[in-house]
């Protein structure tokens, strides 16, 4: 009888360990941030400045020049909007534009590039309207999410929660306290760990994702064990059945 009681208690513990605690599924708990943080507008302005995307080598830019003279427009617009490659930024950080030559764009924002090109094109055409967009405007979301994949950013800027919503949110087993964001920089990739359960995430310079970011959601502890619960249950069920049969045989 004691043997079966121990098996029963073990199975209860097995099921209990497979359940995910509600507190591990909660977002934005009130920890690590104060009212003073919310009132500090200067801090948020600094975050806005830091999180503006800066162009790097091997990026691709779509550049459009619209002027009153269609002839000049056709000369500069040799890359169509449907061209998925656009103007490639070389390894030195330059784009090569017809009749203009190489223009340095490395480390600059899209608005800064637009201002540079507007000044550059003023030598050729007056009253030109310049459009600059990033072609490789994607992020990758992997790990414990409903639909991992590569997603196109349709807005100028989205935050980490909006990014994860593209992937259908975290799965039940996703670790909300240790989400990792991998950001490429001109000095190499930077890895930042974020807690979606803490409101202090609002003050992080990594709160907003950027093009080419990779968001990785690791599993919670015990995820591997939880995935194998059904296998363990089958094995113990067979062992239990075998023990019952053996006991009956021995009693006869």
90: pLDDT strictly greater than 50:
yes
The pLDDT of residue 42 is: 45
What does the DSSP assignment read for the chain?
-HHHHHHHHHHHHHHHHTSPPGGGG---BS-S--HHHHH-HHHHHHHHHHTS----TT-EEEEEEE-SSHHHHHHH--S-TT-SS-EEP-TTSEEEETTTEEEE-TT--HHHHHHHHHHHHTTT-SS-EEEEEES--EEEEEESBSS-EEEE--SS-EEHHHHHHHTTSB-TTB-TT-EEEEE--TT--EEEEE-TTBGGGGG-TTSEE-TT-EEEEPBPTTHHHHHTHHHHHHHHHHHHHHHHHHHHHHH-
| Whether residue 47 has pLDDT greater than 60 | no
| Domains of the chain as residue ranges with CATH | 2-20+224-251 (no CATH), 24-52+137-219 (3.10.560.10), 60-134 (3.30.1950.10)
Choice between 241 and 82, residue whose per-residue pLDDT is larger? 241
pTM of the entire predicted model: 0.69
Q: Assign 152 a pLDDT band (cuts: 50, 70, 90).
A: very high
Per-residue pLDDT at 69 exceeds 90: no
Residue-wise pLDDT tens digits, 107-139: 999 999 999 999 888 887 778 888 899 999 999
pLDDT at 205 over 80: yes
Which is more confidently placed, 242 or 3? 242
Of the pLDDT bands very low, low, confident and very high (cuts 50, 70, 90), residue 231 is low
Of the listed ranges 51-65, 189-203, 224-238, the one predicted with least confidence: 224-238
pLDDT band at 38 (very low <50, low <70, confident <90, very high): very low
Average pLDDT over residues 58-69: 87
Please tell me the least confidently modeled range out of 47-51, 70-74, 105-109, 221-225.
47-51
Identify which has the larger pLDDT, 223 or 125: 125
pLDDT exceeding 70 applies to what percent of the chain?
Answer: 63
Instruction: Give the model's confidence band at 244: pLDDT under 50 very low, under 70 low, under 90 confident, else very high.
Output: low
* Residue 100 confidence (pLDDT): 85
Average pLDDT value over all residues in the chain: 78
């Amino acid at each position: 009888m004691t043997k079966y009681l121990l098996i029963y208690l073990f199975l209860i513990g097995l099921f209990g360990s497979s359940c995910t605690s509600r507190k591990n599924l909660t977002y934005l708990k009130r920890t690590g941030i104060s009212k003073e943080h919310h009132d500090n507008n200067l801090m948020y302005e600094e975050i806005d400045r830091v999180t503006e995307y800066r162009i790097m080598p091997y990026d691709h830019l779509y550049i459009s020049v619209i002027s009153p003279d269609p002839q000049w427009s056709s000369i500069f617009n040799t890359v169509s909007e449907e061209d998925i490659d656009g103007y490639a930024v070389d390894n030195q950080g330059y784009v090569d534009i017809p009749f203009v030559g190489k223009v340095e764009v490395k480390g600059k924002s899209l608005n800064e590039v637009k201002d540079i090109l507007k000044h550059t094109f003023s030598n050729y055409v007056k009253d030109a309207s310049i459009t600059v967009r990033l072609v490789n405007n994607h992020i990758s979301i992997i790990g414990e999410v409903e639909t991992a994949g590569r997603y196109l950013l349709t807005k100028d800027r989205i935050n980490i929660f909006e990014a994860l919503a593209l992937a259908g949110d975290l799965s039940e087993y996703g670790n909300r306290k240790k989400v990792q964001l991998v950001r490429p920089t001109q000095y190499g990739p930077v890895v930042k760990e974020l807690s979606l359960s803490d409101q202090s995430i609002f003050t992080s310079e990594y709160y907003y994702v950027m093009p080419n970011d990779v968001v990785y959601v690791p599993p919670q502890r015990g995820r591997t064990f939880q995935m194998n619960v059904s296998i363990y249950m089958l094995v113990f069920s067979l062992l239990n059945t075998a023990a019952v049969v053996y006991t009956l045989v021995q009693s006869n």
